Structure 1
């Protein structure tokens, strides 16, 4: 039986190669995902470990709530604390660090680095006049205001050399700095494509803190002093709102954070690999069903000469095992190639340098997935083959399942589909909705043999136009409903996901666009590309320009109200009504002045506030005041919500004054000329964005389309596997109908008509799967929208008719491509040999 199984594997090379390819694609995605994410994790982990080589103990402001009970972040570390730590026994050096966002422009004015990874910091010389973190490659460290040092990669990309003038921005205004030095660094953000600019400590404190303040103090132990002992000594001199952590603990926390970030990416990629493998199950099951049906007499003969049912089942499963092993090995190797390609696709500077990491889990997962999926998919055909009575099979009286035999299946499918649809439509829980969607898909899959007849029958009028070829194609498509259903289901699953994601993405984009239109009266919204704070000077420069008629900086401040922490949004009370569109149920923006605030209706309801109500609030500087409700508006939750207070009342309580955004109204409205003039006013700063409503909509669309395109690329694997499934089904159909095709040729059907018949059958099956997939995708998009609508008030279902038409056309193209080989094979059949075939 072992030799028989191996011979059978080699006897059907073409079809088995397609099966191997289907499994290999899924395995390659699994192994590629594991190798890729492991490579990135290791690269970032090693990079972060290097960064902590010079840190034995790190002192930071307390990460939890402030111990004095005031809202907001704990105060920074002082110079006095640094000096106390430096004087402790066992301390080799103590380095005070401070930093934040710093955008560096190249000589053409373009931003260097990724925006979010554009960082700045301070050069803190030790006793030897050097900072061990940043060895100088060329020139010297910055020593005074107006001087800057750049990492070697940034200097190279910007074509800067020592002595050049560098344009840089930390919070809006453009600064011109003299480049005094170029340094090397192990900073992971720099090796991942970011930029790092260094200033002298006093200048850095002016940018990102206050004179004499530090974000962190890094302590290096003297020889013979352990990290734990040094930590104990440091803790004794720390202020109450700070904490000490060993360098090892920091490195471990960083490694854990990186691992968690990679887990999210790994989960998403593996989910799509799972989809491709799930679709591949249909192909594998179809392939082995086909192989078993072709060898039905051979298996019956084996039974007749003494082979048991178990031996027949094992022989088919052994074939599957061999196919699975081949697919697993080739898929693992292909996965390594995918990992290398993905890393290259992200760009050489996108992740830190490091060798390719091939974890043992990738090898184990490849073998488990490849072999497991193949054997699982082949088990049902194997059992079915073993159950066929030998005499019935040898005498060709073992008939295929009739429509009546599908009654039980249809009943089960109907119950599952109804239950899944009801659960998906009614539930408000994401997990339950996912369960309902899975049950619905399974139910529809079980029902597809029943659905195939009426749906394919609906295509009859179109097929009549192709004459006898069209009529035969329709009959052939419904001849074996189970096989047609399995083939169509593979394509259905891929198109269900694609359509559902497209419906949700389009609806969300429309809702956010509407939200922006309903909220923003301003002509422009000004912000930093990094989403960090803007200097108050930006708003003042815009106000002073002749083009601006109304300005409102948006500031954030922490507060404690009724025992809970709430964010306060500071606005310009005088101009707020001209820039912000809010639907007031009581009061208006005209009341927004001093300690009189406006609140959203949800917050007002939860606290029992009405216009005229007063309540105590504690600001982030610890001071208290009573605020009065002057207006209640309908909050949108995303762009408009919470408590709005006049900036004149909020700003004195802020430790650092930065604007999240600046909203402005201009003379003549939003025009290209106006935007150009505003950019000039702000020094043509590449780190600042000046967006009108169209720009905001375009940025949202860009993000959504980028995400969709990535998902389309991932789901393309499922479609490729579905194509292979259609090819296999048609090949099986051609084999089973060899005598019939030979007879049709003998009575006058020419080769072109035979090809047309097979192609039309393929297109009909593919379109059947496409119609089911698009229908399910729209339903899932609608159901998911019910959840999204609860948090996004402007959400409404938007059906992308154009894209759905493209998806249906894609299904037809899949059918045409899949039919090329089977149609050619059918047309080449020798009619006399086919008629004589058994």
Structure 2
């Protein structure tokens, strides 16, 4: 039986090639994902470890949040603490570290790096062991800077060039005096690093005479643990915390791994989708292969083979196919992993250099996926064939499904579909977080139910295409009859395409609806023409608001100045605004009271008011960060949103209690409204600063939606794999259908249907099956997009359903294109069959 199974594999090369490709694509997707994420994780972890080579123990200020206090002042690391750290037993040296956001512009004035990855710091002395100089010398004075070699190469800077950069507002134009190398993970990931001498860095970052961290190097023979213990004994415990370099590297590596786990899980979800689609194709393929060999299997039964032996022979074939496909998929996956890594560079997301990582777990996963998907897919048709009596099989009396089996299938499909719809509808009534798991479960149940019901659905839906098919005469009529002749085969083929289009349509409906909600939120919440903020989300200098207010074209402006406070024993953030004009700059519906901000009168968003039990007229005591308290009165309660929320009070009331006032953003209204000229004027007034963004409402909504759009584009790319698998499935089904009907096609040729008519018949059959799958997929996708949108609507009041009719038309056209392309080879093969003989 083993030799027989191997001969059967070799005897059906063309048909089994489709199965191998379907399995291989799924395996390649999974293994490529694992190779890619393991490679990135390893590279960043190695880079993190190198970044702490010069740190045996790091001394940092004690976190105030650990004490449950976010209002109090953070302890400072003074020069005295640095000197004391360098003198403890076992310490070889100590370096004071100062760092902060530093935006470097390229020669076109555009920001280098990604905002959060644009960093600055101090170069320690004449030769800093952390940053070996590749060219030039150490920076000295306010007009000199050293930059990392990666940034210098990307922007084309050399020693002696003048570079534009910004710390917290003003644009500086120092000279590049040095270019250094670094293993800093942010730089490796595409960011930038600018270094000043220590005194200049302390002044620029507002740390005069103090440091953000003290890095202590251990003397020869002293362990990191011993040095940490010595520092703990020598330094004041209530002011500082100490951490070993090994722990810092481990913490950073764990954080990076945690960030990548979301990417890995997301990619694996879509790998699973491709496999889910491929499973139908594999099962369909083996069903048809076994059906075509029914007489052969019946002959084996007649000469003494048992049912178990027949089933085992089919499983052996599946094992061989799965193993070959898994090995091929693993090789392809390694190539995909390497390609994805290179592709990251095109999205300005460079990753550290390092080897391609292929773990034993990746290899075992690839083999397990290939074999464990294929064998169960082959087991059911093999078992079904083994149960057919030899005489019945040899006389082909087994071909039609029994009424009992059809009733059972339709009953199961109805139960699964009904349960899926019920669970999805129930999930839409829950809040966003608690409804996600039920929504996913309901979606899976509904897709399985519709898949089971597709043979039943195929007849009426394909019948609806009859008027169009009649235009093509005999070929069209035959195509319709062939499409419904074997509903199970048609259903399995259409389902593969259905699942891909369900996901694509659902994501598109959500994306368009979300974009509409974000646009509506930006336009309804703001009356301001522009919002000014830092590129990395950090605070703006108050000078920005003063410069903007001085412009003739600016009619009103207000900074949004955040500050922590203690209210009713809890930490609440206050938002300081220009109370006299905030009503002109915002458009926030009131739930009660009046929108009045000034003196001790404040306005509060509805969520905050509800959590404290406040309403218009309520009073509360706010404890500011300087330790003083003040009684404030709620003048009104407004409907907050993702852009504007919290407790608003006048800056004249808040600012006297702040040690270092800074603004999160500044809202601006101009006389001429929004225009490119007005935007340029605002940017020039701020010194064409690369660190500062000037955005209108459209810019804001695009920025908010940017992450979702990026995810959506990635989803489209990943789902393309599922569509490719579906195309293979359609080709596979048609090729086998042509093989099954070779004598029939030969007879049609003999009675006058020419080769063009045969080709047209096969193409129309493929087109009908593909459009059937497309209609089901788009219908389910709209339903899932609506349901998922209901979850989003619970968090976003401005969310509203948008049906992208144009793109859904494109998706239906895509389904039709899949059908036409998939039919090219089977149609050509059918047309070449000889009359009568079918050979």
TM-score range, shorter chain: over 0.9
Please tell me whether residue 30 in structure 1 is matched to residue 36 in structure 2. Answer: no
Aligned to 2:447: 441
Measure, in 2, the Cα distance between the counterparts of 1:405 and 1:44.
56
Aligned to 2:755: 751
Aligned to 2:152: 155
Aligned to 2:287: 289
What TM-score, normalized by structure 1, do the two folds share?
0.96
C-alpha contact 2:605 2:638 (8 A) present in aligned 1: yes
Please tell me whether residue 599 in structure 1 is matched to residue 576 in structure 2. Answer: no
Aligned to 1:137: 134
Aligned to 2:187: 190
C-alpha contact 2:122 2:196 (8 A) present in aligned 1: yes
State the 1:702 CA deviation.
4.7
Aligned to 1:515: 521
Aligned to 2:41: 41
Measure, in 2, the Cα distance between the counterparts of 1:309 and 1:414.
32
C-alpha contact 2:148 2:193 (8 A) present in aligned 1: yes
Aligned to 1:53: 53
SS in 1 for 2:472: coil
C-alpha contact 1:595 1:627 (8 A) present in aligned 2: yes
Please tell me whether residue 244 in structure 1 is matched to residue 250 in structure 2. Answer: no
Where does the alignment leave 5 or more consecutive residues of structure 2 unmatched? none
C-alpha contact 1:286 1:728 (8 A) present in aligned 2: no
Measure, in 2, the Cα distance between the counterparts of 1:354 and 1:275.
30
SS in 2 for 1:817: helix
C-alpha contact 1:552 1:571 (8 A) present in aligned 2: yes
C-alpha contact 1:285 1:378 (8 A) present in aligned 2: yes
State the 1:660 CA deviation.
1.5
5 Å-filtered alignment, 1:58-73, equals 58-63=58-63, 65=65, 67=67, 69-71=69-71
C-alpha contact 2:518 2:705 (8 A) present in aligned 1: no
State the 1:630 CA deviation.
1.8
Match of 1:255 among 253, 256, 261: 253
Segment drifting more, 316-325 vs 597-606: 597-606
Match of 1:298 among 288, 296, 299: 296
Aligned to 1:554: 560
5 Å-filtered alignment, 1:745-824, equals 745-824=749-828
SS in 2 for 1:111: coil
Match of 1:457 among 448, 460, 463: 463
C-alpha contact 1:66 1:72 (8 A) present in aligned 2: no
C-alpha contact 1:455 1:768 (8 A) present in aligned 2: yes
State the 1:70 CA deviation.
5.0
State the 1:72 CA deviation.
6.3
> Which string of whole-angstrom CA distances, capped at 9 and with x for unpartnered residues, describes residues 56-115 of structure 1?
111223346253845367344233322222221211112221211111112232222233
C-alpha contact 1:35 1:336 (8 A) present in aligned 2: yes
State the 1:192 CA deviation.
2.2
Measure, in 2, the Cα distance between the counterparts of 1:66 and 1:493.
49
Aligned to 2:717: 713
Count matched residues. Answer: 830
SS in 1 for 2:163: strand
Aligned to 1:229: 226
Please tell me whether residue 179 in structure 1 is matched to residue 183 in structure 2. Answer: no
Measure, in 2, the Cα distance between the counterparts of 1:823 and 1:263.
46
Segment drifting more, 151-160 vs 501-510: 151-160
State the 1:239 CA deviation.
4.8
Measure, in 1, the Cα distance between the counterparts of 2:357 and 2:244.
28
Segment drifting more, 606-615 vs 446-455: 606-615
C-alpha contact 1:421 1:440 (8 A) present in aligned 2: yes
Measure, in 1, the Cα distance between the counterparts of 2:41 and 2:753.
62
Measure, in 1, the Cα distance between the counterparts of 2:336 and 2:512.
30
SS in 2 for 1:723: helix
Aligned to 2:830: 826
C-alpha contact 1:192 1:351 (8 A) present in aligned 2: yes
Please tell me whether residue 650 in structure 1 is matched to residue 654 in structure 2. Answer: yes
C-alpha contact 1:70 1:622 (8 A) present in aligned 2: no
Measure, in 2, the Cα distance between the counterparts of 1:390 and 1:42.
58
Please tell me whether residue 422 in structure 1 is matched to residue 419 in structure 2. Answer: no
Aligned to 1:269: 267
Change (3 A) 1:402 1:805: farther
5 Å-filtered alignment, 1:303-342, equals 303-342=301-340
5 Å-filtered alignment, 1:347-366, equals 347=345, 350-366=350-366
SS in 1 for 2:485: coil
State the 1:47 CA deviation.
0.7
SS in 2 for 1:238: coil
C-alpha contact 1:26 1:276 (8 A) present in aligned 2: yes
Aligned to 1:218: 215
What TM-score, normalized by structure 2, do the two folds share?
0.96
State the 1:667 CA deviation.
1.6
Measure, in 2, the Cα distance between the counterparts of 1:651 and 1:377.
69
Measure, in 2, the Cα distance between the counterparts of 1:147 and 1:721.
58
Aligned to 2:103: 103
Aligned to 1:610: 615
Match of 1:574 among 580, 584, 602: 580
State the 1:655 CA deviation.
4.4
Measure, in 1, the Cα distance between the counterparts of 2:486 and 2:73.
69
SS in 2 for 1:108: coil
C-alpha contact 1:771 1:808 (8 A) present in aligned 2: yes
Change (3 A) 1:805 1:477: same
Change (3 A) 1:454 1:181: same
C-alpha contact 1:81 1:239 (8 A) present in aligned 2: no
SS in 2 for 1:478: helix
Measure, in 1, the Cα distance between the counterparts of 2:585 and 2:442.
44
Where does the alignment leave 5 or more consecutive residues of structure 1 unmatched? none
Segment drifting more, 164-173 vs 711-720: 164-173
> Which string of whole-angstrom CA distances, capped at 9 and with x for unpartnered residues, describes residues 689-741 of structure 1?
21112222344455443322211110011011011111111122212222222
C-alpha contact 2:141 2:200 (8 A) present in aligned 1: yes
5 Å-filtered alignment, 1:674-713, equals 674-700=678-704, 702-713=706-717
Measure, in 1, the Cα distance between the counterparts of 2:326 and 2:395.
39
> Which string of whole-angstrom CA distances, capped at 9 and with x for unpartnered residues, describes residues 655-703 of structure 1?
4433221110112111111111112111222332211122223444554
Change (3 A) 1:449 1:647: same
Change (3 A) 1:655 1:356: farther
C-alpha contact 2:749 2:836 (8 A) present in aligned 1: no
Please tell me whether residue 164 in structure 1 is matched to residue 161 in structure 2. Answer: yes
> Which string of whole-angstrom CA distances, capped at 9 and with x for unpartnered residues, describes residues 550-607 of structure 1?
1111122112211222222221112211111111233334x31233211012222232
Change (3 A) 1:68 1:326: closer
> Which string of whole-angstrom CA distances, capped at 9 and with x for unpartnered residues, describes residues 464-484 of structure 1?
221121111111111111111
Measure, in 1, the Cα distance between the counterparts of 2:763 and 2:68.
77
Measure, in 2, the Cα distance between the counterparts of 1:403 and 1:823.
33
Change (3 A) 1:73 1:6: farther
Measure, in 1, the Cα distance between the counterparts of 2:541 and 2:225.
41
C-alpha contact 1:65 1:74 (8 A) present in aligned 2: no
Aligned to 2:367: 367
Change (3 A) 1:188 1:725: same
Measure, in 2, the Cα distance between the counterparts of 1:693 and 1:198.
36
5 Å-filtered alignment, 1:189-208, equals 189-208=186-205
Segment drifting more, 544-553 vs 507-516: 544-553
Segment drifting more, 449-458 vs 524-533: 524-533
Aligned to 1:279: 277
Aligned to 2:674: 670
Measure, in 2, the Cα distance between the counterparts of 1:627 and 1:820.
76
Segment drifting more, 390-399 vs 108-117: 108-117
SS in 2 for 1:565: strand
